[in-house]
Structure 1
Amino acid sequence: MAKQVLDFHASVGMTTNQSNEHQRRWSDRSWKVALKGGNYDRTREHLNFEVAKGGVVQPVDKTKSIPQRIKDTLSERGIIDPNAKMTAKGKDPNRRTVVNIIFGGSREQMHRLAFGDQKVDLTHGADNSLVTRCSDIEEWAKDIYGFACDKWGEENIVGFYVHLDEKNPHIHCSVLPITKQNKFSFKELFAGKDKIEFKERTLQLHNELAQVNEKWGLGRGQSIMETGARHRSTEEYRAELRQECNNLEEEIENHQKLLKVLYSDIRMAEKRCKGLTTMVYNLEQKEADLTAQLCQLESDLTSGAGNAADLRRRITDLEGKLRITTSSLADKRLKLKNADRQLAQLNDEMESVKERTFDLKKERDEAAADVQSLIRMRLTDAVFGKTFVEFGRLIDCLSPEQKAAFGNDFLVHLAEKPAEILKCAMYLFAGYLDGAIQFAKGNGGGGGGSDLPWGRDPNEDDRKFAFRCMVQAHRMMKPVPGKHIKRN
């Protein structure tokens, strides 16, 4: 049986750029940039759809972005965005207020649901404009929508888009993690109180989704914990990180080129608006002058001042000029309105590209930091073992009195049992407290040594937590009785 796909990621709100991608709210220029990546097919974009309130299948509504939908939803329910409060106080927002979920499955089965027996050419640049959408994909999407509503509440779903214009049909579902008490809480709705509960909830979520997907020929795959599947090697991971950095650099370069083009287009649009504004002003003045002359001539004709035939000729002449001026004025006003709208669209697009460029630079910096961290870890790993073997030999040569005089119990113990302490620390770092306790006891340690709650601080980075794990493992491996540490 084909396998289902379920992936979710919590974030601090949603950017306009993310929203535009979900809704395909792109200009021709933005489409050109997207198509360069080779994953989109504009000839199939018309097949995309969304599932709206009540499970209604409809074309994608692009009139309102997802950030605006979120704002409207919170306003209607009287809920304050916690990140907006933090921003107002000058703090960096860090609350996870949006959960982006992807539903899908194996490509062959998803194509069967979406396109039936029709052949879809996945070659970059191919024309699939004659391909039509099958009803099965709509029914599957409605089932998944119902599943999401039951799990997290229909009122919390702010976007449910089905993309059929990429290589593999899938759903983007945006959920606000808001409880029945109208409070934001990613932990309550998704994560649970700790890593163990998060793992259990995630496994259960996959199991429940599999029951919905069964009738659509999609089954649940086995988890890595069940199969023992091999993780990527360090070299593979490092190669992927390098490739990610290169891809991000290339995308940043493309966006910077696009920004230059947009700046040029905006300058031209501004000049056009300025020229049309001047034309409209001059034509309005001319129209007013002709109207005033016409009124004066009609007044003269009515009062009998001057030659009536001459006055009528002049009135006819002015009326002709006024019609031409009025028509020209209407034309220029319409062109000015269109020019103003185009300028506004260009400015919006430029802001969106700027935002995406900023996000890409941030992603690039994070990827670069991961590469640096990986290299630092490899260097540390390369010298750790040898250093402590040599240090252990020196410690063995010391008398008990000399060891006590050395004054660093942690280093001495680490030199004596480097492999055992490191393995115990690995259990702690991975969140397996029971495993760490049992390992420590089985290798001559007390298995305790701290009455403080144990767990990772959300604001603690990997290096700080790793060091705490090493220190705690050192305490647990000591051959002295003590109380077990408690979980948070």
Structure 2
Amino acid sequence: MNTDIKQAMHVEACKSFGTSEANENERHWDEDKIDRKNQDPTNHYDKTRMKLNFEIGPDGKIHPLGYQKKSLEVRLQERLAELGWKPFKPDSKIQPNCCAKFIFGGNHDRTLEMAFGNQTVNLEKDADNGLLHRCEEIEHWAKDVHEWCARRYGQENIIGFQIHLDESSPHIHALIVPVGIRPKSSRECVMWSAKFGKDRFEYGRILREMHTSLYEEVGSKYGLDRGDSIDGRNVQHLHKREYIRKLTKEAKQAEKAVKGLQTMMRKLEQELLTGRNRLKEIDEALASGKITLDKYEAQKADIQKLISDYQVKLDDKTGKLQVKEQELEQLTKDAAKACSVIQPFRNHKVDFTPPQITEKVPLFGTDKWIERQNRLIAKQFTEIVCKIESLYRSDAARQVEATQRNILADYGELYQLRKDVKTLIENNDELKSTLETMLDQLANPSLRSKIFAIADALAGGTPAVISSGGGGGGNSDSDLRWDGRRPDEEEDAYRRRCLKAAIIVVMRSSKSHGRNR
């Protein structure tokens, strides 16, 4: 028998909340509806105990269930409207979270004891528990949980707080709107991340802290221990192959998000560079008298505003990129761990009755009686041993299967590594060939002087025109597209880049001349 007396808390993100859920929480049902509900073997709604259900109102006091004039979903919509909630379009596949659904409970026997004390509760379907009365301890516990929620989320954001005593175990349903402060306007708004984190790692940390806080402030007063940690639950609840597939899918999604954020950041950096170059251009235009001071100040203000907006967006994308990179790193580690770890043998607990002698010793034929009893005991003992052996044989087969899968995974990784090595060797050969060509160019005195002239021109910011056609005259068409010095680029790095670009241009030019000749 399980003797653990623990608290329980479940949190579910909710994108919408309908009338059927509201009716269930507030028990706006007639008897026909209850009977239809109980046709499902997993449901157990006791009509004789429904009068004992209650809720805690905004005043923090005990009230009959469903006493408020406005229904639960209407109250939710009104609070969302107060906060300026604007969901996405109805046909959008992605919708934000607007509320959190909590369920608070605990050990079955302990919660029944809090609700009904020493009274006998018949949990069979269609049982008559009409003589039961509600004990004060369950009300005190519900009030303490309500105060705990109010401290964390604000009383005005608790839309509903219903306590059900008509099911198998007493429990609480709480509907709460997560509210945060908008950074720019400092106004309150619906914000899931403000209360439950920006990603699943932060959510896990917050959830662990919530369990601890609930135990310290409420559960410990009522003999309810802190719930077990949820760390690693997915590995146990999912088949290993499914878990690895899930991690791989999430890692691909995170990698795709990282690449998308990197692309957006590059575009924003390019826009910032364009804006700064535009500022330089109007500075030069003002100095040369091409534009008036009024026009200069107007253009400068517009450009600076654009630069400021781009910088804000860039900072936002940088923060999101860091979060996604951490998420991708953790997913990669989890996947690698799942592929390599073999689960240990389980400590099986086999329920059996020890072999016993149940017959009295006869006055006559004692030897035959002893022989018969020994045969019965041996049979029972053999059955027990065979059962234990079967369990551990199954575990051994599972170990062998896991080892074989790991070997296949290792072979796949080895194959991928060989491909990577081959690619690196090819890239290395290509780079080596390019380096030798560059050295040949530098060894030629005429090309060397040309390379250094172009490199000096680039480093000094002077335009350098290299003909893309044959002949020695040159024209206005240039193979060189130069973006100038990049923001925060070191002097030495910039000069090396100038030299490299000059060598590439001369190499292309010399090849073109060779073809023309």
TM-score range, shorter chain: 0.3 to 0.5
Q: TM-score, normalised by structure 2?
A: 0.45
Higher relative contact order (CA 8 A, sep 6+): 1
- Which has a greater percent of helix? 1
User: Which has the larger Rg?
Assistant: 2
Q: TM-score, normalised by structure 1?
A: 0.47
